[in-house]
Structures are given as C-alpha cells and as structure tokens.
Structure 1
Amino acid sequence: GDYSIEEVETPKGFLQLEQPVKFTITNTRDYDKDEDEDPILTVKVKNAQPKGKIILTKTDKATNEALADVEYELTAKENIYSAVDGSLRYAKGATVAKGKTDANGKLVIDSLFMGKYELKETLTNEGYVLSAKVHQINLEQKDLTTKEYVITKNVTNIAPHGEIHVQKRDRDTLEDLSSVTFQLTAKEDIYSLDGRNKLIYKKGEAVSMDISENGYYVTNELGEIHISGLPLGKYELKEVQELEGYVKNNKVYDIDLSYDHTDKIIYSKELDVLNKKTATEISKVDATNEKELESAKLSLRDEDGNLVEEWTSTKDVYIIRGLVSGKKYILHEDLAPLGYATASDVTFTVNEDGSVTKVKMKDEITKVDISKVDATTGKEIEGAKLTLKDKETGEVVESWVSGKEPHRIEGLTVSKTYVLHEDLAPAGYNVASDVEFTISDTGEVQKVVMKDEAKPVIVKTGDD
C-alpha cells in the first residue's frame, strides 16, 4: 500500500521537511531481507541545514567607482559546531574564508554555517587606506523554513593624499615673487597605508611630484607652488635659492600631513612665505662731527663696474634695498658738497645674515692756513689787514688782522681760485702784492704764504 512519513519535530540546526516523505510497499519479493528473512524497504528522510551568504560591495568613497582586487578574510568569532554530531567545525579565530573583490567590486562568501564571524580587510589597492573596521557577521537561524540568510555589506575605501600650497611674497610690498626655489624632503620614514606597509620615502629623502626633480619646486609667475598627490606623512620644506637682492630664508617649515583616521580625502597645508630685501644704509657725513652732509653726488657700482644707483645726499641716511647678499659694491663720490674734499671710494660687502649693512663715507672739510710773514725772516707778522676774495665773482670771503699764528679758513670750494689781498701792511712794511691760489681736492691743510718786505730806513744828515 501507499504510506506517508511526516516530521512532527525538527532537529535543532536543521530545516523542517517541505513536504511528507511518501513511499509504497509493493511485491516484497524484490526487497532485501534482514537476518530473519523479513523483507526490508529503506526510506531516507533528509533534512537540510540553513546556510549563510555574505555579499560585499567595495567602492571608492569619493568617486563611487568599484574597487577590484581588495582582499578580505573571514574568521570565526566563536567556536562553531556541527549541527549533525556536535563536532567542532571552526575554532574561535580560525580562518573560514579568504577572497578578493571582482571587477564590479563584489565579494561573495556563501555556504556558511550558522554562527558568529568577523570580516576584515587585509589588503587594499595602492594609494588607498586599509580599512580598520571589522564587520560583525551574525548568522542565526530564526525559523525552520529560511534556507539562506544573506548579509550585504556596502563598504568604501578612501584614497587620501596631501597637498602643499606655497605663496611667496615680498614682505614690504606684498609683491608676488617668482623663480624662488624650494626643496621638499621627508621628515620621517613614510609608508603606504594599503596594508602592504611599503616604504615610500626614507627620512631625509627628496620628494618629487609631477615634473619636480630631486624635490625642487620653483614658484610660478604668481609666486605660487602647488604640490599635490603626496602620500600621507610628515615633510619638511625649505628655501634653497632666493632671488637676488633678498635675504636668504633659512627657516625649515614642518608640514604634518599624517593620517588622522577620519574619512578626510585631502590633507592640505598652506604657507604664506614672506621674504625681505637686503637693506643697506649709506651715510655721507662730516669727518669731524659725523653729521649727515647734504648735496654730495654719489654713485654705487658693483664689483664689475656696473652702475647700480645714483643719488644726492640729504640730511637723512640713504637706504638702498635689494643689493645682493655677499656681493661687493663700490661707493663713489662724484661731487663733494661745497667746502669739502672728495672722499675716497668705499668698498663694502652686503651682509648675508639679513642684518642691515651700514656704510659710512666721511668727507673732510677743506682747510687753508694763511700766513703773513716777514719776507726776510719768514716769521709771522702781526697787524696786517687782509681780505680773501673769490677771484671769479670778487665776493669777499673773509677779512681779518694777522696775528702771531697762521689764519685758518675752512670750507673753501675745491678747484676754485681765490685772491689774498693786503688792505693795510703793518708799520714798517710795504703792502704786498696779491696772492692767488686754487683749492686742491684734499682734506689735508693747505698753506698759503704772503710775504711783506720791510721799508728801508732813511738816515738824515745830522741825526745821531
């Protein structure tokens, strides 16, 4: 006859029968027999176990593009036992499965027994950060009919990078400075973050991106440097070649672009670097009192004789900015102020430490000693009334009466001719002829001598 087996209680860890198992007893002559020669019909009742499936989809967080070849590992979070006989299938911490995402960024792990697992990323694409997140997978049988429990995970990776933006300007005018060279080096060993722990840059190694060579970067016409695509880590940036006329910037800029374990994609550092021009203070002073002299015509040339600048001195110190550090210059006096001798050239070198270079040129006032002497003895004669005039204009410069010492006059104009005239000779002397002289271009004392002849003594007859 026809029979039917129905399951009234399902074993733990299994699914119930979808329908009863039916069988028919027919001619027993065709059956196997047991030891008592009784016919045997074997009927198998099969129960299935519920299984678990993990579907993981991996994409770029910023672009949403699928990421292939990202590696994952699934491990048992607890001991997982067989529902058939209770034997241990996976010990806690044991690796259950490994796999890579496909071209669509998908990874499927199926046929998993019920239990608790952990899924973690073990290797990601170069340039990406290995995800530290551990996904908890809990496969638990909730009824007697669900054959497969599917857990989906949509996860992302980030490819963070560092950027450095430099703005180079003149400290005083804020003018953009182009053609200034910087060098970028690694402050520490920099490793990849993709799980390979690959050494990208050694400490102190030059870091070159784009068209850079040996880590050198040059500011553009806007005074800017833009460095992008840097692996995350710590760097040092320093100026290695300044513009001519500017003080060298010896500061080393520490740039920390270290990964902060957030989802930030761009780590950026902006630097506003100001450079100052060299400053040279030039003083044109009186050699005696050190006070600034006006009206001197001065010029500055470099060591090759090229004219750098010309100016006329005033009561204030003259400042020149932008002379080249460490280079020699020659300060020349083209025309001294009236009454002063032309100074010798002054050679100087611009300070390289950024301090103000101070240059002083001293002018000696002209000095003339006028002596009124006896033509015979050469001794100074007192009491002569003398006048000094400008030969060209006839203008009286000074009048005085001679004494026991030469009469000094200061500040006469270089290269000008003067006339010394005796208005009244001392008693017993004849008036001397005018003496003409021209002032030499020197700070030394110049001497002018006017000689008086004594009147002859007339002895009359009858005198004792």
Structure 2
Amino acid sequence: MSDDYDTHPVSIRKKNLNDQLIGGAVLQITGKEDGKADNMEPVQWTSEENKEHVVELRKGAYTLHEITPPAGYLPAEDIRFTVDKDGNIFIAGNKADTVEMTDIQVKSCKITIKKYESDGKTPLAGVTFKLEFLSAKYPDVSGNKNYSRLLKPGESKELTSDSNGEIVFDNLDQGEYVLSETKTSSGHMLMKDSIHISLPLEMTDEEVKQAGNIDMTKAEKFGGLNHFYELKYDISNGAVLDMPKTGDNG
C-alpha cells in the first residue's frame, strides 16, 4: 500500500532522433511534492551513453530541464510531468512508462562539386573553388569547443577538382555559405556568378512532391521540414543543384 510520502523510481531517457541514449547532457529536475509548501531541491546529473537515469520522486508535479546539451546537439524544450501516489507518470495528461527527452543533432553537411566542360559531360580537372562560411545556423552550438567542423564562421577553404572533375567539401557546419570559382584551367573562363548555399537544404512535403522522384532516404524530417545534408552541384557554364533521385547512384 502506498501513500503520498512514498518515493517512486522514475526513469529518464535522454535520446536522439534515432532513439539512441546519448551521454553528456546536463539535466535537472525541479518541482513541488504534493503537500509541501516549497519547491524541492533541484536534482541534477549528466546523462550517460546507452543508459537510463533513475530518480526517486514522490507524488507531485515536476519539470525536466536540459541545462547543457551534448556537444553538437540543440537543447530540448522542458518536459512537465506528474507522478501520482502509485508512481504512475503522466505527461500532458497521458500515462507514460518513462520520461523521454529528445535532442536534435546538428549533423555535419557535405557539398560535392562536379566540374564539366561546356558540354556538361566531360569532367574538367584543375579548377579551384573557394567555399566561404558566412554564418552558422546555430551559433551556440558552433561555439562549443568540443564541436569540430571543417570551417568556422568567417573562414574559407579552396580545393581543386581532380581528374574526375570532382571536389568534396565534407564535415561542414550548418549555416550559410558562398561558393565561387577562383581559378580555372587554361583556355576556360571562370564561372561568372558565385553560389549562395544554405545547409542543410530544407524542403516542405509539397516542395518535395513538386520536385518529383526525390530519394527521401537522404532526408531527415523534423519541425515539419525535410532536411537534406548532402548537396551536389553540376557546374559547367552555370551551376545546377543535382537532387538525389530514387534509383540514382548519386
């Protein structure tokens, strides 16, 4: 038989969108036990990889708050929940077995350039492109010392196309970039206009439908948008974004 003064084990799951339990998040529970005038002493801990955390709580109303997310993750919104005298957990009026908080990872991005002759078919080697990182989508995440990407805001990098006419800028932070052609091979002209690129590419379901035949295994959906983290540009006289299509190798 239980009463209002019994404590109950409440499991907290800190996970990512792939349902993997992640470590390194500093979490805190605050709230008020029923029958108490004052708020409880906050309970704080750091999540561990592949491990749930159990907190002993009495009947009452509580808030799970993320003080600091793991490096490379966005902080999650607070979760409010209650515990009844029998140890049952309720979130937004619905009974739950555990309290789950999900973090969205700021995934790295990739830009692949395929440089061609004016015929749009013959690969062109020896062409140099410069990628400039203008601004980060999530400055707080980018500023974390444990978050490592190819470029920091304000930095740039130049790469030259190989024998296949290919250049790959990998491990890119999310944000705004400008791509420009800075050096071309003998007998060729530089690409006239630079390309402004937003990473990741975000598309609504309607935009995906209108584009047609897009390989959705290349996308991650949250916040009502489809996010594409790997972009490919075919460049001859101009630039064409080559979206991954169902059945393509690219």
Query: Partner of 1:165 in structure 2?
Result: 112
Q: What is the identity percentage for the equivalent residue pairs of Structure 1 and Structure 2?
A: 21
Structure 1 residues 66 and 231: alpha-carbon distance in aligned structure 2, compared to 1, 3 A threshold: same
Letter in 2 for 1:104: N
Distance 2:201 2:75 in 1: 12
Match of 1:133 in 2: 77
Alignment check: 8 A CA contact 1:233 1:259 kept: no
* d(CA) in 2 for partners of 1:267, 1:149: 40
How many angstroms apart in 1 are the aligned matches of 2:113 and 2:190? 17
In structure 2, relative to structure 1, the CA distance for the partners of 1:175 and 1:258 (3 Å cut) is closer
1:244 aligns with 2:194: no
**Contact kept in structure 1, 2:11 and 2:99, CA below 8 Å:** yes
Q: Which amino acid counterpart does residue 58 of structure 1 have in structure 2?
A: K
Q: 1:102 aligns with which of 48, 67, 71?
A: 48
What SS class does the counterpart of residue 271 from structure 1 fall into?
strand
Structure 2 portions without partners, runs of 5+: 90-96, 203-220, 239-250
C-alpha distance in structure 2 between counterparts of 1:262 and 1:164, whole Å: 22
Q: Distance in 1 between matches of 2:101 and 2:201?
A: 19
Q: Are the counterparts in 1 of residues 17 and 104 from structure 2 also a CA contact under 8 Å?
A: yes
CA-to-aligned-CA distance 1:196-242 (integer Å, 9 cap, x gap): 66697554321xxxxxxxx1112122212222221111111111111
Report the Cα distance in structure 1 between the residues aligned to 2:23 and 2:76, rounded to whole angstroms: 18
CA contact (8 A) 1:101 1:107 kept: yes
2:67 to 119, 122, 127: 122
Quote the Cα distance in structure 1 between the aligned partners of 2:10 and 2:143: 25
Hey, what's the Cα distance between the residues in 2 that align with 1:173 and 1:154?
A: 50
- Cα distance in 2 for partners of 1:58, 1:265 equals 23
The structure with the larger Rg is 1
Using the alignment, how far apart are the partners of 2:60 and 2:117 within structure 1?
68
Normalising by the residue count of structure 1, what TM-score does the alignment of the two structures yield? 0.39
Q: Secondary structure at the match of 1:255?
A: strand
Higher relative contact order (CA 8 A, sep 6+): 2
Q: TM-score, normalised by structure 2?
A: 0.68
Whether 2:29 is the aligned partner of 1:69: answer no
Q: What residue in structure 2 maps to residue 267 of structure 1?
A: 229
The superposition leaves residues 114-168 of structure 1 with CA deviations (integer Å, 9 ceiling, x where unpaired) of: 22222132322222x2243332211123xxxx3x446513444443221212111
Q: Give the C-alpha shift of residue 189 in structure 1.
A: 4.8
Q: Write the distance in 2 (CA, Å) between the matches of 1:97 and 1:88.
A: 18
After TM superposition, the structure 1 = structure 2 runs for residues 42-441 of structure 1, keeping only pairs within 5 Å, are 49-62=5-18, 65-76=20-31, 80=32, 83=35, 87-90=36-39, 96-110=42-56, 112-127=57-72, 129-141=73-85, 146=86, 148-149=87-88, 151-159=97-105, 160-172=107-119, 174-189=121-136, 191=138, 194=141, 203-206=153-156, 215-257=157-199, 262=222, 266-275=228-237
SS of 2:122's equivalent?
coil
CA contact (8 A) 1:59 1:67 kept: yes
Pair 153,61 (structure 1): closer, same or farther in 2 beyond 3 Å: same
- Measured in 2, the distance between the counterparts of 1:220 and 1:193 equals 36
Residues 1:217 and 1:170: Cα distance change in structure 2 (over 3 Å): same
Q: 1:82 to 1:59 in 2, by over 3 A?
A: closer
Distance 2:46 2:66 in 1: 10
CA distance in 2, matches of 1:187, 1:256: 10
Structure 1: 4+ residue segments shifted above 4 A = 189-203, 258-261, 263-266
After superposition, what is the alpha-carbon deviation per residue over 1:419-440, rounded to whole angstroms, capped at 9, x for unaligned? xxxxxxxxxxxxxxxxxxxxxx
Higher helix share: 2
Query: Where does structure 1 lack aligned partners over 5 or more consecutive residues?
Result: 1-9, 16-47, 207-214, 277-464
Distance 1:271 1:54 in 2: 50
